[in-house]
Structure 1
Amino acid sequence: MPKVLIVDDALFMRVAVGNMFKEWGFEVVGEASNGKEAVELYKKHQPDLVTMDITMPVMSGLDAVKEIIPEFPDANIIMMTALGQQRIIVEAIEAGAKDFITKPFEKNQLKMVVDNILGIDEH
């Protein structure tokens, strides 16, 4: 069962995304509301996948990526972005994030990104 870490400062987003992953057969090993917690939980659980919000208190998603990737270069991080954050997305991808999805998104959009990153072929 693949493990996922969900990072978002909005509880409702963590719950919504977590429910999607549970439905897809993932184990949600942790939830973080800021980048600092995300880095700590990543080190503890080393999940197969991370959904990472960009704009959060304490430490941004971008800064969390910059802390996780040097130590765990194979980390699979999907950036969750609001509209108009293109510059930050580019920086996150350059820092090692694997992909991004723009909020609000449809469940099947996220599933396609997840399957692509993890090499899951649904066909």
Structure 2
Amino acid sequence: MSDRPTVLLCDDSRALRMLTARQLAEAGFEVIAEAGNGREARDYYEANEPDVVLLDLVMPELDGKQALQEILSFDPQARVVILSSLGAQGDIEECLRLGAASYLQKPIDPDAMVRVLRQVIG
């Protein structure tokens, strides 16, 4: 069993997932699954129960807010970090109220991402 914290990476941009997965690996995290939409995010979470989820708000199938609610209803202890573009402050606040652990602004600053993930995982 790896002692690297496991991450489920959810974003509908494949380019963003590739870049972020590389940054996470370099920082000592293990990306155990990637999802391109909210439904996959929920299904992968239930199958893998990663240490933390990076979840984009704007995705097809289920959006980030719906996926967050479904993940938290499956596992109330789930640690979910919302990814969001500028100007989505209201959505971010709602997600934090719903139970998201934290959020990151896109474009993602790798140092901020690592700091937030380490903080959320504890």
Interval containing the TM-score (normalised by the shorter chain): over 0.9
- C-alpha deviation, 1:111, in angstroms: 1.1
Number of aligned residue pairs: 119
1:84-104 CA distance string (max 9 Å, x none): 111111111111110001111
Q: Which residue of the other structure, out of 87, 90, 100, is the alignment partner of 2:90?
A: 87
In the alignment, residue 36 of structure 1 is paired with which amino acid? Answer: R
Match in the other structure for 1:69: 72
- C-alpha deviation, 1:48, in angstroms: 0.2
Match in the other structure for 1:110: 113
Match in the other structure for 2:58: 55
For the residue of structure 1 that corresponds to 2:33, the secondary structure is: strand
In the alignment, residue 75 of structure 2 is paired with which amino acid? Answer: F
- Structure 1: 5+ residue stretches without partners: none
Quote the RMSD (CA, aligned, Å).
Answer: 0.9
Moved beyond 3 Å, runs of 4+: none
Q: Which residue of the other structure, out of 19, 30, 33, is the alignment partner of 2:36?
A: 33
In the alignment, residue 47 of structure 2 is paired with which amino acid? Answer: K
- Aligned-residue sequence identity (percent) comes to 34
- C-alpha deviation, 1:105, in angstroms: 2.6
For the residue of structure 2 that corresponds to 1:25, the secondary structure is: coil
